[in-house]
Structure 1
Amino acid sequence: MSTPAAPGVEGVFLRDMTLEDVPAVNALEQRLFPADAWPLQMFLDELSQTTTRRYLVAETSSGIVGYAGLMCIEPIADVQTIAVVPELEGRGIGSALLTQLIEEARRRRAEDVLLEVRADNPRAQQLYLRFGFEQIHLRRKYYRDGVDALIMRLQLTGPSAAPTTEAGRP
């Protein structure tokens, strides 16, 4: 079943990723992350772990334009991947995908959502900050090309927990 991505994102629908989507998602992965692309088998392995994973695709009438995945082993959820084709960035697709991942983490009773983001990707960093993520650590030379990773966390429980939000708004 697919649902509209977000009220302002016309013509884009989100749905669970299927095995049939993996070739198209892998092609996007290779295009978007040439230095750090996951191999096709990794997507297949991730999709087979339904008790701890959830993967989504964003699609239009012309095909898949984004994807995202979450691993949740209580009490921690981890955003494994999130990507949107550059030609559609800034239209709310990444926000819609991230909203769904955070909602899934809540359903699975996670206390925190963690992620790594490239230090040279300010657009993604701003998205995560709008959702209430905070930087908690730096992993030097984490990516294959030597770029550092910022480790970010969103607390879902406790006194500083973020309320259920979309794009960081209550």
Structure 2
Amino acid sequence: MPSDLPHLCMLEALTAEGATWSDKQIKAELSRERATVLVVDHGAGPVGWAVGWAVPGELHVMNVAVHPDHRRRGHARALLTTLIELHRGAKSALLEVRVSNEPALSLYRAMGFQHVGLRRKYYQDGEDAALMTLQLEPGPAASAE
């Protein structure tokens, strides 16, 4: 997956709304032990990607991005669904999203995420982030506790 780095950097620049991850940050995620990195590739390179961190009892969704020309095709939902499935032992999923990003907010609400707070001036440009969580059904790994 390190070979995806240039494509992911280009994709991030196209999709991020004022809060682009740097090449260094993306490279770090590709090798971070607790990170799960998923990529949607249509043969000519990635058109979407997501990063989730496994923290005790929780999936922290760090980033979901889809190329503008490939939006509204189910890629973001598929990436999130796969992240959740891969972290079946987690009790909840957590994410932050720009309060102005209505398409993402709508998707997250449709998937069952609930708005639980606000992170004031979370982004570099001063925009607030909505804090959202999703309570997850305990998977087989969690039910043995």
Task: Give the TM-score normalised by the residue count of structure 2.
Answer: 0.90
Alignment of 1:115-154 (within 5 A): 115-154=95-134
Q: Deviations over 1:77-110 (max 9, x none)?
A: 100100111111111111111110111121xx11
Indicate conservation of the 8 Å contact 1:105/1:113, yes or no.
no
Partner Cα distance (1:31, 1:92) in 2 = 18
Query: Which ranges of 4 or more aligned residues in structure 1 deviate by more than 3 Å?
Result: none
Indicate conservation of the 8 Å contact 1:76/1:111, yes or no.
yes
Unaligned runs of 5+ in 2: 139-145
Give the structure 2 partner of residue 9 of structure 1. none
Give the structure 1 partner of residue 28 of structure 2. 45
Indicate conservation of the 8 Å contact 2:116/2:131, yes or no.
yes
User: Of Structure 1 and Structure 2, which has the larger fraction of its residues in helix?
Assistant: 2
Partner Cα distance (1:26, 1:142) in 2 = 22
How many residue pairs get aligned? The number is: 138
**1:21 maps to 2:4:** yes
Unaligned runs of 5+ in 1: 1-17, 159-170
Task: Give the TM-score normalised by the residue count of structure 1.
Answer: 0.77
Partner Cα distance (1:100, 1:77) in 2 = 12
Q: 1:53 to 1:62 in 2, by over 3 A?
A: same
Alignment of 1:18-97 (within 5 A): 18-33=1-16, 35-50=18-33, 52-97=34-79
Amino acid of the residue matched to residue 132 of structure 2? M
Amino acid of the residue matched to residue 61 of structure 1? G
Partner Cα distance (1:60, 1:45) in 2 = 24
Partner of 1:61: helix, strand, or coil? coil
Partner of 1:46: helix, strand, or coil? helix
CA RMSD of aligned residues (A): 1.3
- How many percent identity over aligned positions? 39
